[in-house]
Amino acid sequence: MMEELCALLLPLDAILSHEDFQPQLSPTPLLTTRYRNLWLLCVLFGFTNAAKRPECMTEWHAQALMRIADKTPPIVLEDTYGFISAELEYNPILRQDYLQEACF
């Protein structure tokens, strides 16, 4: 699965390299959720840890990840009341029972 996520970084970087595509300027809630999930997976798989990157991460992938970060919209929508708690509760990646265990 790491290799599959790693393989998506270069095409995503190519799409984001277009000057007329600026997702960070006016993100939709759906786009924000997708970016947040992408970064959650990147952190879980160790893509953001420069000291212990997986073998599938080449220098090209690391550079692509930095360019993706430049175009990432804010991953918290401030104008929605309770947005973070609702996302944590209903996010398919983070199950509610795991969250309850972490709180105790």
* Domain contains 51: yes
* Domain contains 55: yes
The domain in which residue 23 lies consists of: 2-78
pTM above 0.85, yes or no: no
* Domain contains 73: yes
* Domain contains 34: yes
What is the DSSP code string of 4-19?
A: HHHHHHHHHHHHHT-T
* Domain contains 48: yes
Q: Give the whole-angstrom CA distance, residue 53 versus residue 29.
A: 30
User: Is residue 50 very low, low, confident or very high in pLDDT (cuts 50, 70, 90)?
Assistant: confident
* Domain contains 98: no
52-72 tens-digit pLDDT: 888 888 899 999 999 999 999
Number of domains forming the structure of the chain: 1
* Domain contains 84: no
* Domain contains 12: yes
Q: Which of 86, 90, 65, 66 lies closest to 76, judged by CA?
A: 86
Q: Is 97 exposed, middle or buried (0-12, 13-18, 19+ CB in 10 A)?
A: exposed
